[in-house]
Structure 1
């Protein structure tokens, strides 16, 4: 049984312009010690799906099921979710400067989080644990830096502080939402190394949300590709990179720079669909070079291009040999 399992998750928001169907029937799972990468363009529903699991999408209409160790998260009351957040599911958000309170020292914030979940822990014991956590994630001179404010840290160091805070109570799942955005490649590599070390030491399951396929290639064991609030393709990492099936996945990979900088980038033409009035068929149909009549008429089935966990929501046949003919037609 997977550690965290999400089944047929739907999330929508009421707006003056209509109902935004941000997540539409998303399913995925992750086991202990494994990393699940969730990729897709901005607005594809990656962050909304994971934030809904821990009760951070207030005012949303939610249906489906999400279980952690057999406990249903979507049906949990606010007190239960507060107990789960931090203790069982740690969160690393995209912008650590806005996630950390600017008026309080980083050590105070880690200490308060520890004591909020462990009422019997003294301030001295919590502070000592905070120092150890900062040292574990590579903060130099942690006994001194613990009394610094967030603005006194660089972007990479603030992200390390967020990792330390997320891992303070040794949660079983770590959700990292764009943890390397706006970091240079050297700092990015250091942050990913810290996450790998944490996973090796504690057996933590990681859900890594990103639009950077290079990060996915480096970190993920399994990958979910999202578009228009839905899962387009799901596969093991190597399977997805070398034997992908869905045209959207193909488009994402074709838009990457080639080794050595040679060749022309091939962007995906068009823009993502409106989630207020999503297309009746495949959400990617207006941008797909292989689209045919059926694609705009009804949602595609979830085909299985390969044995195992590889699934793809597409009308195209599993065999790729006919694609050039479809593209030319």
Structure 2
């Protein structure tokens, strides 16, 4: 049995403007000691998906299943869920300053969290454990820093504090929601190194939500690509980067800057993400897709195996055969390049 199995998860919210279908039939699973990267544009449903799993989307209409070590988190009683969340499932949120109470010392906040889940631990034992955790995530002079307030830490150090709190009870699963956003590259590397080291030491599974494909390339084992509340592609990291099938995944990679001999003009994804209140018929990416044809506008493609790989899934009507899919991609790129050269020639 997998540690986490999410099956056909659907999450919607009722608003004055209509029903927001934030997550529409998402499925994935995760083994112990593995990292799953979830990527996509803002508003694609990444955070809502994981927050729903741990019971943090109050007021939402939720269907589907989310089995954690055999327990369905979506139907668990509040007391049972509280016993799992924090103790067996740790959370790291995007903005650590809003997750830490500004009026309480860091040591008190970590100690409070530890004793809330382990009543047998004394106050001094919890404080000792808190200092140990701060040292583990690379904060110098941890004993002294326990008595500091959140505003006395830098952004990177506050994020390390959040990692320390999330890992305090050695959880089986760590959900990290854009933990490196707004951090400079040096601090980002340090935070990722801390998470990776803790995973090696404790065998923790990690769900990493990010829009940074560089971070995914460094730490993820498998990758889920989301768009407009659905999974567009799900594959091992290497397949996602070098043999992706879905045009949306291709668009994300084409939007990345290249260096060295591979430098080229950036090709951003045209248009804007669709409203999840008023989704277009057919494939949600069709209005922005350079490969779209008649079927794409009327029928939404299911997530299906591609390239003959049992671990590679894509929601697209393009051929599932690697040779045929590559031929279409190469032809379209050649036509685009030729059109660009013609336009430059006319301009000169």
- Which residue matches 2:253? 253
Aligned 8 A contact 2:231 2:303 in 1: no
- Which residue matches 2:206? 206
Q: What is the alpha-carbon distance in structure 2 between the residues aligned to residue 154 and residue 206 of structure 1?
A: 24
TM-score (norm 2): 0.92
Q: Give the structure with higher Rg (CA).
A: 2
Q: What is the alpha-carbon distance in structure 1 between the residues aligned to residue 330 and residue 298 of structure 2?
A: 22
User: What are the equivalent positions in structure 2 for 1:103-114 lying under 5 Å apart?
Assistant: 103-114=103-114
Q: What is the alpha-carbon distance in structure 1 between the residues aligned to residue 58 and residue 302 of structure 2?
A: 31
Q: 1:316 aligns with which of 318, 325, 335?
A: 318
- Which residue matches 2:218? 218
Q: What is the alpha-carbon distance in structure 1 between the residues aligned to residue 179 and residue 150 of structure 2?
A: 16
How far did 1:324 drift?
Answer: 5.1
- Which residue matches 1:263? 264
- Which residue matches 2:305? 304
Q: Does 1:26 align with 2:26?
A: yes
Q: Deviations over 1:244-296 (max 9, x none)?
A: 00000000000000023832111001011111111221110000000001001
- Which residue matches 2:283? 282
Q: What is the alpha-carbon distance in structure 2 between the residues aligned to residue 49 and residue 88 of structure 1?
A: 18
User: What are the equivalent positions in structure 2 for 1:80-119 lying under 5 Å apart?
Assistant: 80-119=80-119
Q: What is the alpha-carbon distance in structure 2 between the residues aligned to residue 29 and residue 214 of structure 1?
A: 22
User: What are the equivalent positions in structure 2 for 1:118-267 lying under 5 Å apart?
Assistant: 118-260=118-260, 262-267=263-268
Aligned 8 A contact 2:223 2:236 in 1: yes
How far did 1:322 drift?
Answer: 2.8
RMSD: 1.3
Q: Deviations over 1:43-89 (max 9, x none)?
A: 00000000000100000000000000000100012211111111111
Q: What is the alpha-carbon distance in structure 1 between the residues aligned to residue 316 and residue 222 of structure 2?
A: 19
TM-score (norm 1): 0.98
- Structure 1 spans left out of the alignment, 5+ residues: none
